[in-house]
Structure 1
Amino acid sequence: MGHRKLRRTGVVTIGSFLLLGLMGCLHGTNVNSATAPQPTQPPQQVAMQKPSAVDPKLVTANTKFGFKLFSEVLKQDDKKNVFVSPSSVAIALAMTYNGASGATQQQMAKTLELQGMSLSQLNRANADLKKMLESPDSGVQLTIANSLWARQGTPFKPAFIQRNRDFYGAQITELDFAAPESTATINNWVKEYTRGKISQIVDGLKPDDVMFLVNAIYFKGNWTKAFDPSETANKPFYLSNGRPKSHPTMAQTGSYKYYETNQFQAVSLPYGNERVSMYLFLPKKTSNLSRFTKTLTAENWQQWMGRFRTQPGSVQVPRFKLEYDVALKKALSTLGMSIAFDANKATFDELSSASTKIDQVKHKTFVEVNEEGTEAAAATSIGIVTTSMPTSQPFQMNVDRPFFCAIRDNKTGTVLFMGAIVDPK
């Protein structure tokens, strides 16, 4: 195998995208175009200055929701790579939550772990979080973009439109959904705000589609300490069935934030000025990724984050690049918001005077990890032993089997991306 001279791609990006299609049954509603949003109105911000803190209730809610969602997605795709952005999903659902009422609102609040937060608190906290996360330091690019695409002539509630514009910075566009170019218009917006990493989310517009709410997240981070390409070599990576495959593996030594239990090793690899990090969790050989993910809970995650300590060591990490997409209707229904998808029960009275329900929730991601930087994702499971093991000697961590990873903003505690990698492509 030996060493190979590897081309440095320079592309270290993660794009995460979620779309919600709201299917409307107009029931003869008198459509008043004056209440509909106007084409391509620029987003506005509630406050210009960057906040000093984010409501911890929102971060806690997003963390709990993120790990619940990840657990459900793993049940759908337990044999392949999974990479999601819980932050992207939470933001898009929060935008939609502004239009919910009654039992629909209550179920969404429970699913999103929003109990104890008023709608105004939620919106303000999301506005603050967006400002704090974007461009966190010189070595990291992080942008969050939202948009709302409305069928021309449908009677939407002005307050719903205004809140999404003011608090989420959403670009509001009224479209003729019957026009052939409308699908391309939405897809081009996604392509632009994910820097070309995700080029299509809408396959076509149906006659009963009335609105799409879209969130796009783009992340590019350079390692604080880049991996030397000359140290990258083809080494065995052992798949879930134990079969080895030869794969380019990066290596370096240094001082890292590290944590180890009798169940796993974990290391934090920072980007830029170390505000944002990738966390890699490698189950011990006596365990496996499936057992580990069963211990991934918000409570365990918070404990683990407080137990990393700086120490010398060496790490070997596989390069990987993958695209992932998943339909989230089943997962979200299982988590408790099935009414929102039910044409007979859904109530989005604050969104429109037309009868509407959520028709589809799509989520797509892209990630590439190389010598210059990395994007990866992590999921939380239930019940891992969190007692630290003695680590007086420099540690060695060889990520040569299925692992979990997450990208976290260390200042706010926000988990931007998480994933279970069973086969680095």
Structure 2
Amino acid sequence: MKSALYLSLLLLGLQVQGQHKPNLNDEQQEQKIPHLPEGHFHVEDENLAYIKIVHSNIDFAFKFYKQIREEAGNKNIFFSPLSISAAFAMLSLGARSNTLLQLQKGLAFNMTEIEEQEIHKGFQQVLQLLNEPHQDVQLSIGNALFIDDRLNLLQKFLDDVTYFYYSEATSSNFQNSAEATKEINNYIDTKTSGKIVDLVKSLDADTVMVLVNYVLFKGYWERPFNNLSTRDDDFLLDANNSVKVKMMHQNKVFNVHRDGELSCWVVEIPYKGNATALFVLPDEESMKQVEDALLRKTVTKWIHSLKKRKIFLDLPKFSISGTYDVKSLFEKMGVTEVFSDHADLSGVAEDTPLKVSKTIHKALVDVSENGTEAAAVTMIEMVPLSAMFPPPTHIRFNRPFLMMIIDRNTQSMLFMGKIMNPAAKED
């Protein structure tokens, strides 16, 4: 059994609020592909490489979610499937034999329908589109490699991670663990606008490379909630317990679908720009039924069934985070070899056997009336007298619900979560 040096993966996802607009470097500008018509999980040109990987990424999102659910119990769930799949797809550039096959299967790629090169080309296209400057929303995704001075990366691996994944490569002195830890934490702090600090507590003594992936999304609702309408309300944790939350309210037209078979409501709340959020509210006692049915075809059906209708909407303000040991979760999904002494990452470095020692994923979400900007608007809205029409349906997100954030240009699922307790502070 070979002795392997260590590679760590740090995967970060944030949905917060802000204004900063990312810029593309010159190479990205030259390779930029045009925007596509907005759509959900379907476009006309199936030849685009990224369409194939987007479908797999959505399948992976639900597969990974169901694995987290088994361990989460009554805790909140929030993660970025795109961050995890992009990082491991990048790592797969250096994987060989069964290690590569396990990674591909774990990421939900059907290798009879997609070629290995198409996976990386697809991620390249997704990264190009997501990192384009947006007028109304900030969306950026990036990768970085921190490489020990003693490790000689194969030039092809370095060229490929730079070309397909726009990864930054930084030489680090891992023999000085404190210095390397500080360097990595400073990078994460900068890239997440100070939202994630001191993520890395320590590094394994034999660590020679750390891979970091981040996804940062900052958006404003297309139609903000009026903070004057926000009030204290009860959120029902279960049949016997509740917590007080700040409940936002709108009385407007939304895209809504009632799924009678799964006993849930689906409400779309769009952001300004090319992103949208789906909020799924199962009836009481129906959460497991809805979760078990989470598949790409289910969400596609929901989206295609959305209809405009006026509703009374109650949605809690919340700020939650999730931190996950991806190594443990992947091993339970059958991806084991890359973490073992049998790992074949021979395409990464010269004459240096490597394995992944740890993989940490942290994601945060902050949902509020309109974000961190202060604004004042006076609006007088007139509606018909309610006596002439039946009252709108009242959809109250005052019990556990699901949330998905989707980029409409690439159809990528950026984030996914289950809010069990909007007032909880735990990861």
**TM > 0.5 fold call:** yes
Residues 98, 119 of structure 1: 8 Å contact kept: no
What letter matches 1:113 in structure 2?
A
Pairwise CA RMSD of aligned residues?
2.2
> For residue 125 of structure 1, what is the aligned residue in structure 2?
122
Of residues 82, 89, 92, the one that matches 1:87 is 82
Residues 103, 51 of structure 1: alpha-carbon distance in 2 compared, 3 angstrom cutoff: farther
Contact 2:32 2:129 in 1 (8 A): no
Moved more, 360-369 or 241-250: 241-250
Partner of 1:271: 271
Q: Return closer, same or farther for 1:52/1:277 CA change in 2, 3 Å cut-off.
A: closer
Q: In 2, distance between residues paired with 1:405 and 1:23?
A: 40
Equivalent position SS for 1:350: coil
Relative to structure 1, the CA distance from residue 323 to residue 25 in structure 2 (aligned partners, 3 Å threshold; closer, same or farther) is closer
Percent of aligned pairs sharing the same letter: 27
Q: 1:51 to 1:90 in 2, by over 3 A?
A: farther
Shift of 1:135: 4.9
Report the alpha carbon displacement of residue 327 of structure 1 after superposing the two structures with TM.
0.4
Question: Partner residue of 2:173?
Answer: 176
SS at match of 2:194: coil
How far the C-alpha of 1:197 sits from its partner, in A, is 0.8
Question: Counterpart amino acid of 1:165?
Answer: T
**Aligned 8 A contact 2:28 2:128 in 1:** no
How much has 1:225 moved relative to structure 2?
A: 0.4
Shift of 1:332: 0.9
- The CA deviation at 1:295 is 1.7
* Counterpart for residue 313 of structure 2: 315
Determine the structure 2 residue equivalent to 1:109. 104
State the one-letter code of the partner of 1:269.
I
Does the Cα contact within 8 Å between 2:6 and 2:204 map onto a contact in 1? no
Change beyond 3 A, Cα 1:181–1:276 = same
Q: SS of the counterpart of 1:197?
A: coil
- For 1:166, the equivalent position in structure 2 comes to 163
Length-normalised TM-score, structure 2: 0.82
Deviation of 1:71 (Å): 0.8
> Using the alignment, how far apart are the partners of 1:61 and 1:239 within structure 2?
33
Distance 1:99 1:313, change over 3 A: same
Aligned residue in 1 for 2:380: none
From 396, 400, 403, the equivalent of 1:402 is: 400
Find the partner of 1:306 among 304, 307, 315.
304
1:25 Cα shift? 7.5
- The DSSP-based 3-state class of the residue aligned with 2:334 is helix
How many residue pairs match? The answer is 369
- Give the letter aligned to residue 120 of structure 2: N
- State the distance in 2 between where 1:325 and 1:104 align: 25
Rate the CA distance shift 1:51–1:339 in 2: closer, same or farther, 3 A.
farther
How far apart are the structure 2 equivalents of 1:251 and 1:173? 47
Aligned to 1:284: 283
Runs of 4+ in 1 over 6 A off after TM superposition: none
Q: Please, which of 50, 56, 61 is the counterpart of residue 33 of structure 2? A: 50
Name the residue aligned to 1:382.
Answer: none
1:372 match: secondary structure: coil
How big is each residue's C-alpha offset from its partner over 1:199-256, in whole Å with a ceiling of 9 and x where there is no partner?
A: 1332222231111111011111100000001100001110034312221100011111
Secondary structure in 1 aligned to 2:333? Answer: helix
5+ unaligned residues in a row in structure 1: which ranges?
1-21, 27-41, 375-391
Q: Which letter does structure 1 place at the counterpart of 2:292?
A: K
Deviation at 1:152, TM superposition (A): 0.9
Alpha-carbon distance between aligned partners in 1 of 2:248 and 2:141, rounded to the nearest angstrom:
30
Q: How does 1:181-192 map to 2 (within 5 A)?
A: 181-192=179-190
- Choose the corresponding residue for 1:196, options 194, 197, 208: 194
User: Helix, strand or coil for the counterpart of 1:96?
Assistant: helix
Match of 1:134 in 2: 131
Letter matched to residue 49 of structure 1:
K
Provide the C-alpha distance between the structure 2 equivalents of 1:350 and 1:410, rounded to a whole number of angstroms. Answer: 35
Change in 2 beyond 3 A, CA 1:158/1:416 = same
Post-superposition offset of 1:138:
2.2
**Residue range with higher mean Cα deviation, 57-66 or 152-161:** 152-161
1:238 aligns with 2:233: no
Task: Mark the CA change 1:66 to 1:413 in structure 2 (over 3 Å): closer, same or farther.
Answer: same
Within 2, Cα distance between the matches of 1:261 and 1:227?
A: 26
Secondary structure at the counterpart of residue 272 of structure 1: coil
Tell me, yes or no, if the aligned pair for 2:237 and 2:400 is still in contact at 8 Å. Answer: yes
Q: Report the CA distance between 1:393 and its aligned residue.
A: 7.0
Question: For residues 50 and 80 of structure 1, do their structure 2 counterparts lie closer, same or farther at Cα, with a shift above 3 Å needed?
Answer: same
In the alignment, what sits opposite 1:387? Answer: none
Q: 1:201–1:362: 8 Å Cα contact kept in structure 2?
A: no
- Counterpart in the other structure of 1:349: 346
Structure 1 residue 50: Cα displacement: 3.0
Deviation at 1:121, TM superposition (A): 1.4
Letter in 2 for 1:24: L
| Structure 2: gaps of 5 or more residues | 8-24, 37-47, 373-389
Task: Specify whether residues 46 and 342 from structure 1 end up closer, same or farther in structure 2 by C-alpha distance, changes over 3 A only.
Answer: farther
Report the Cα offset of residue 98 of structure 1. 0.5
Distance 1:52 1:140, change over 3 A: closer
* Residue in structure 2 matched with residue 255 of structure 1 by the alignment: 253
Amino acid at match of 1:272: K
Give, in angstroms, the shift of residue 407 of structure 1: 0.6
Is the CA contact (8 Å cut-off) linking 1:108 and 1:337 kept in structure 2? yes
Matches of 1:242 and 1:416, distance apart in 2: 34
Instruction: Report the secondary structure of 2:335's partner residue.
Output: helix
Q: Which amino acid aligns with 1:156?
A: L
Deviations 1:168-191 (A, max 9, x none): 111101111012311110111111
Alpha-carbon distance in 1 for matches of 2:271, 2:220:
5
